[in-house]
């Protein structure tokens, strides 16, 4: 899936350029400075609704969002996380040793309920589609008793 000019998300978007990241038991922890003892942000897994990898293309301003089954550990790019409050958190991983693909794969193992990879049938920026995604995840959680096992 290719997307150009996602300007509608700018008011809801937060960009992090973490120096260090850690996949904790219940949340993704981000640090601005590797020497800090306290993370600058904690992103709870249960609040993550939609997570995807975003790669630049040859065309300026156009990004590719691969489907989950095409994501490999070698893929570079940004990691984008939409949470349940309809906020977009974009992780600029350009300063990281770990690729966006490798982090996506590790993160996917920790997220109990979320949409992963491209979802061309849903436009997360659209409020109605977003609420439908929330309802689907809530229903899945209810069916599985709040656990993914």
pLDDT digits (tens, 9 = 90+) for 116-146: 998 888 888 899 999 999 999 999 888 887 6
> Does the pLDDT value for residue 8 go beyond 70?
no
Which pLDDT band holds residue 108 (cuts at 50, 70, 90)? very high
Which pLDDT band holds residue 148 (cuts at 50, 70, 90)? low
SS3 letters across the chain: CEEECCHHHHHHEEEECCCEEEECCCEEEEECCCCCCCCCEEEEHHHEEEEEEEEECCCCCEEECCEHHHCCCCCCCEEEEEECCCCEEEEECCCCCCCHHHHHHHHHCCCCCCEEECCCCCCCCCHHHHHHHHHHHHHHHHHCCCCCC
pLDDT at 10: 52
Q: pTM, whole model, 2 decimals?
A: 0.84
* 133 within 8 A of 124, measured Cβ to Cβ: yes
pLDDT digits (tens, 9 = 90+) for 45-103: 999 999 999 998 889 888 899 999 999 999 999 999 999 999 999 999 988 889 999 99
Q: Quote the CA–CA distance of 125 and 12 in Å, as a whole number.
A: 10
User: What are the sequence ranges of the domains in the chain?
Assistant: 2-143
End-to-end CA distance of the chain: 30
Higher pLDDT, 44 or 7: 44
Which pLDDT band holds residue 3 (cuts at 50, 70, 90)? very low
């Amino acid at each position: 899936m290719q997307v150009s000019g996602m300007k509608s998300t700018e008011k809801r978007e937060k960009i992090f350029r973490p120096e260090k990241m850690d996949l904790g038991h219940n949340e993704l922890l981000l640090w601005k400075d590797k020497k800090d003892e306290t993370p600058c942000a904690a992103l709870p897994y249960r609040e993550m609704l939609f997570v995807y990898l975003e790669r630049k293309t040859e065309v300026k301003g156009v990004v590719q969002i691969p489907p989950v089954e095409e994501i490999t550990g070698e893929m570079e790019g940004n990691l984008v996380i939409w949470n349940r409050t309809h906020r977009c958190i974009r992780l600029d991983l350009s300063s990281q040793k770990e690729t966006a693909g490798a982090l996506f794969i590790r993160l996917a193992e920790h997220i109990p309920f979320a949409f992963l990879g491209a979802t061309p049938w849903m436009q997360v920026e659209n409020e109605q589609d977003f609420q439908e995604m929330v309802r689907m995840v809530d229903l899945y959680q209810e069916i599985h008793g709040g656990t993914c096992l």
